[in-house]
Structure 1
């Protein structure tokens, strides 16, 4: 990971943490205002890490912030196994650090947008401690043949997944296929589709994310 993440501290007693991963070409600064201004809860600390800069094959090798390389936009496309796992290790280390600071694993939630959501899903499903939930916005599933594998701690963790029906980059069919694949081993998935939303977010989605966080991470 690049520089230190953006951290929005709890304004009250810190009893829960949300880690949210940005999409391709973005940084943690892109999503931090959402948690600062729209989804903030006084007992929750929000962490928005930055991906390292790397060459992205899909974008003609241009260097940009990315959690892993992307080779294509089909379900059958080759995946950057090494890059995905390297980033997942760093995210798991971040969750471990929160636990060492006194936050129980089941008071930690991880989420992300687009490729950040893909990494959030993979990092959570392969984590060895139970989490509060996963948020995957306009996202997709990576390393699907490895899931759930021998990992059981988050096999049935609650998942909030959302997608726009006008997404030109990560088509709605990716989101639908992701939901179907996850439901094979995890029935606790809520999937919402937003009419007219592209590869972005909307006010109703923010409200739904906030409701999911509030339900899974109530004040304590």
Structure 2
């Protein structure tokens, strides 16, 4: 089992055909990065490398303590639920380490888009809004901004105040309540430039955001 202090498993990567920019994408609870790597291969952009990172295996309270791929613990999925703030911060630091490694490898931070689905989307939003480096944008699919009641405006880093955010949420999502969509959007409007926040529902909108924010070099 991967403990909180261990490094993340190597990601599933869809490589770029030429000089690369990067998208780092985080899967949802109980999943792996492989399925998302297949999805992104279907909307491939030649100069974009997709890194679909795998979460470590850990017990999840929501699923009666069963161990599964999870970025942090989830107690309940309600707006008034207790949240694993320490686990969220630890996971975020690991994602920031991955971003820093890409920067060391020659990709400037503003040419990196961070995104995720469900629990992975929650972590991607938290990480993007607290990152010290300016990012190219964020993609938040069927998720929320944690911690819901204690993420203060002061925690957001001004480097990403103008960050472009694409938020998508399925109206029939059986796991993440639809009310999370509105709560997250309202919170984002206080943390980012509202004109840079887009709400939509199609995977091709992800491709459009990536191509707009990460044009060929």
Q: Do the aligned residues in 1 keep the contact of 2:8 with 2:94 (CA within 8 Å)? A: no
Selected match of 1:22 from 22, 27, 44: 27
TM superposition shift of 1:156 = 2.7
SS in 1 for 2:29: coil
2:113 & 2:8 partners in 1: Cα distance? 22
Aligned pairs for 1:66-81 within 5 A: 66-81=70-85
Q: How many residues align?
A: 207
Q: Does 1:211 align with 2:211?
A: no
Alignment TM-score, normalising by the size of structure 2: 0.92
Q: Per-residue CA shift, 1:24-74, capped at 9, x if unaligned? A: 0001112110111x2211111110111011111011111100000001111
After TM superposition, the structure 1 = structure 2 runs for residues 172-187 of structure 1, keeping only pairs within 5 Å, are 172-186=178-192, 187=194
1:184 partner SS: helix
| Structure 1: segments with no counterpart, 5+ residues | 195-204
Which of 146, 153, 169 is residue 175 of structure 2 equivalent to?
169
Secondary structure at the aligned position of 2:80 is classed as: coil
Q: In structure 2, how many angstroms separate the alpha carbons of the residues matched to 1:92 and 1:134?
A: 14
Residue number among 123, 148, 161 corresponding to 1:155 in the alignment: 161
Structure 1 ranges of 4+ moved more than 4 A: none
CA distance in 1, matches of 2:137, 2:66: 33
Question: Deviation digits for residues 4-30 of structure 1, max 9, x if unmatched?
Answer: 11111111222x100000000001112
Per-residue CA deviation, residues 98-138 of structure 1 (Å, 9 max, x unaligned), is 11111111000000000000000001101001000000001
Aligned position for 2:116? 112
Distance, in Å, in 2 between the alignment partners of 1:69 and 1:86 is 11
How much has 1:2 moved relative to structure 2? 4.0
Residues 46-61 of structure 1: matches in 2 within 5 Å?
46-61=50-65
Question: Are 2:78 and 2:177, in contact at CA under 8 Å, matched by a contact in 1?
Answer: no
Q: What is the rounded CA distance, in whole Å, between the counterparts of 1:206 and 1:189 in structure 2?
A: 16
**TM-fit CA distance, 1:169:** 1.1
Normalised by the length of structure 1, the TM-score is 0.90
Q: 1:32 aligns with which of 22, 33, 37?
A: 37
Matches within 5 A, 1:73-112: 73-112=77-116
d(CA) in 2 for partners of 1:19 and 1:147? Answer: 25
